[in-house]
A and B are shown apart, each in its own frame.
Chain A
Amino acid sequence: MIRLRKLARAASVLTTPLAPEDILSLFNPVFSARQLRGVVTRVVAETADSATIFFRPGRGWKAHQAGQWARIGVELDGVRHWRSYSLSAPAGQDPAITVTDVGAVSGVLVRDTRPGDVLFLAPPQGDFVLPEHPRPLLMLTAGSGITPVMSMVRTLVPHRPDADVVLIHSSRTPEDSIFREELSELADQFPNFKVTHWITGERGRVDFSSPAALDELCPDWRHRAAYACGPEGFLDDAEALWSAEAAVAAATEGSAAGESHQPEGPFAADPINLIIERFTTSLAAGAGHDGGLVTFEASDREVEADGSTPLLDVGEDAGVLMPSGCRMGICHSCLTPLRAGHVRDLRTGEVHGEPGQLIQTCVSAAAGPVNLDI
């Protein structure tokens, strides 16, 4: 590798102001000096509106852990858009994302991706990963929330005879249920893996308001490390149930004193044994008097915005080509210089704004008139 880097530096003497990668990209599209890329190797349809896309990443990608996600850049009519998708392939294998068509970007990925296409990538990240040491697990998933959990199941179940995994997966109809066949086959093949396909179209949602439903589906659920991934309401309900159980357990402490266990890995800071993966972040609405005229200086656009819509959405709706990334305030891809005015951080409610400050437009709304340098 070190020799390669030296060679690249030597070659750049001949290619300046380009990088050697710019020349190599003539022959192989994964080369780029600035941007991690991958080539699509295979596309597999999963359900009517979802597909798994396998890709071969270029240099700079790091192998993913089961349960992690990656930002993927896709071009729509010549314009690059970034979204985050969970990786569904098991750890140790070539990466793949499983995408459900819920919007413009995912729609194009599901319908129009072909082998040979180039995807733009950011390395995998996320803390929704397996515990470091074996322990009984309970997975609660709904809809496309199965994706990161599928990676965990594929990593763990076939390779670890000591694994003990219970999966309860909700979907509207059997046809909507991604990975349904593969999950059933794994459950047939490996006695240490149990699956419940919960069809909400027939039975309604799993009832988390009391422990009764879980007691029936997985009697020892209190002793399992739990992972939940799905829509907002589903996760809020599960979280409430686990919190309530933790309170009950604390009240009756002493009787179960002998059972203490050492939390480890991702559970270290989590006394109630539930790890949650959200697909959205909940944003506070701005105060009533907030909002104002947003001016996009370089794009020559101005639009009246309310106090609860992120500036990113305001800009995109106004036809401004806003940089964007995770859309929930964690990746800092959307940073845009503030020229004047104040913004409200929709996560904390804090109002701030210095001229020249870089604003996270995906979680900031106008607090009075705002001028952005874009």
Chain B
Amino acid sequence: MAIVTNHEAETTEDAVVPSSGDDAALQAKEAAAAATGAQAVKTRRGALATSGSPLVRPPAAAHLSDEQVAELGRELDAIKDDILAKRGASDAAYIRRVIKVQRALEISGRATLLVSRNKGAWVAGTTLLSLAKILENMEIGHNVLHGQWDWMRDPDIHSTTWEWDFVTPARAWQHTHNDLHHRWTNVVGKDNDVGYNLLRMDPAQEWKPFNLGNPVYNAILAPIFEWGIAIYDLELQDYKEGNKSKEALVKDLKALGVKALKQFTKDYAATPAVAMLTGSGKQALYGTLTANAVRNVWAHAVIFCGHFPDGTDTFTEEMVEGETRGDWYVRQMIGSANISGSRFMHLMTGNLSHQIEHHLFPDIPSNRYAEVAPKVQEICRRYGLPYTTGPMWKQVGSTWAKVFKLALPPKKA
């Protein structure tokens, strides 16, 4: 028989005008497409029930009836649907612009450090590189790795391909962060982000003499925060308790080793080596060290403002037993805190200043959180739920106060 080489021209997604009288096949296809389009599409809201109630509702939401919580869930679903319907070319242009700016900052910062024997060049280069690293980790890396931009189907900006300028490998972080932390937000015993297995950040965590060092540990953690996260992502606690296999741990350690080596080579060997050509090797090394530390201190501050300031609640395992979609939303809102401030501040926090909105909808594009925030705040007001927000200095102060307070044993009643 004849050789048949197949190739496809176009499917019919909208009204079709056949290009010639012979294109009847296309019309038939169009009719078929119309038939499937007519079928009812139901939005499924994850595995959580739409009605019912948890064993215990958190105190801040105890005044709400099951029906009220279900209605609140529906209202928040509607907000998300609204954003998803609007999402499009302008959002795509936004993330591409941010990525461009970040890369321009990165290369100009690194280039300036090559002549950092000059003091002005050192300051400029270090500042540019710090800004680049912060933007890369916060507004780009964190959000891309959440899958906020997967809808563009661009393999260059996708949660499955992205790797970030941070020692912990993206895949390891996605597991502990996207899956564990975002699912179990602030549930003591399930969300290890409550204190990162290092600090005592909730009165419900048992006090041990080790906790006296709380403020010291936190102060040391801040400038090396990326290492804290990298070790945390290894899930050593799970390994010790037998919940993580040795093979899995070895695999993660190898991935971390490779990633850390690359990061070290870039910042602490290659960049200073090139700078040695102008006699700026040592200064360039100090520059990259400083930029990494600045980024670490900033990321630490922003992330601690997410769930630890006064006003945020933590939860017991009874409160998530039988949790409905609405209750899950409630927990995200009353377990998170926002930071108020300028547009530049929101950008530099990767829009984690809209932590409440981010926890409700972790995968909508970050540039949309500001638009969602007033609606969420209005819902909180209407349902009598706390909506915690404040300027950076206040939120940072509040978390540090908690770090100090919880270093001490609980007062005996």
Contact = CB atoms under 8 A, between A and B. Distances in A.
10 contacts: A13-B270, A14-B271, A35-B156, A102-B19, A106-B9, A270-B3, A281-B8, A301-B41, A305-B36, A313-B11
Given A17-B164, A103-B12, A232-B25, A80 B153 contact: yes
Given A49-B17, A317-B37, A75 B7 contact: no
B154 A80 contact: yes
A136 interface: no
Contact of B17 (A14, A102, A128, A281): A102
Nearest to A17: B163
Nearest to A268: B3
Interface of B: 1-14, 16-26, 29, 32-33, 36-37, 39-46, 84, 87-93, 100, 103-104, 107, 110, 150-156, 161, 163-165, 259, 262-263, 265-266, 270-271, 274
Contacts of A155: none
A22 B152 contact: no
A270 B1 CA distance: 6
Contact of A105 (B13, B16, B44, B263): B13
B2 to A, nearest CB: 4
A16 B43 CA distance: 40
Contact of B7 (A234, A266, A319, A326): A326
A72 B1 CA distance: 31
A302 B42 contact: yes
A231 B5 contact: no
Interface in A1-26: 13-18, 22-23, 26
Which of A32, A230, A279 is the most central at the interface, judged by chain B CB atoms within 10 Å of its CB? Answer: A279
B45 A300 contact: yes
A278 interface: yes
Contact of B42 (A106, A200, A301): A301
Given A143-B22, A304-B40, A83 B9 contact: yes
Contacts of A35: 154-156
Which of B5, B13, B42, B110 is the most central at the interface, judged by chain A CB atoms within 10 Å of its CB? Answer: B5
B32 A102 contact: no
Contact of A326 (B8, B13, B16, B163): B8
A141 B29 CA distance: 21
Which of A16, A314, A316 is the most central at the interface, judged by chain B CB atoms within 10 Å of its CB? Answer: A16
Contact of A26 (B29, B104, B164): B104
Contacts of B92: 75, 78-79
| Chain A contact patch, size range | 35 or more
A151 interface: no
Contacts of B13: 103-105, 316
Contacts of B103: 18, 22-23, 26
B39 A304 contact: yes
A135 to B, nearest CB: 16
A85 B151 CA distance: 24
Nearest to A26: B103
B43 A300 contact: yes
B22 A32 contact: no
A77 interface: yes
Contacts of A301: 41-44
A23 B14 contact: no
A16 to B, nearest CB: 5
B150 A321 contact: yes
A337 to B, nearest CB: 12
A305 B40 CA distance: 10
Given A75-B89, A281-B8, A316-B13, 19 more contacts: A14-B266, A26-B104, A49-B19, A78-B89, A79-B92, A102-B12, A102-B19, A107-B14, A126-B7, A127-B5, A172-B22, A231-B26, A272-B2, A275-B5, A278-B4, A279-B25, A296-B44, A300-B45, A304-B40
A62 interface: no
A276 B2 contact: yes
A200 B20 contact: yes
A361 interface: no
A254 to B, nearest CB: 23
A303 interface: yes
Contacts of B152: 75, 78-80
Contacts of B46: 300
Contact of B36 (A272, A279, A314, A321): A314
Contacts of A277: 5-7
B23 A305 contact: no
Contact of A309 (B18, B21, B22, B32): B32
Contacts of B40: 303-304
A243 B2 CA distance: 8
Nearest to A309: B36
Interface in A41-92: 49-50, 69, 75, 77-81, 83-86
Contacts of A269: 3
B20 A170 contact: yes
Contact of B263 (A16, A205, A304): A16
B149 to A, nearest CB: 9
Contacts of B42: 301-303
Contacts of B265: 13, 16
A233 B3 contact: no
Nearest to A235: B4
Contacts of A79: 88, 92, 151-153
B159 to A, nearest CB: 11
B249 to A, nearest CB: 23
Contacts of A278: 4-7
Contacts of B3: 127, 266-267, 269-270, 275-276
B69 to A, nearest CB: 19
Contacts of B150: 321
B163 to A, nearest CB: 4
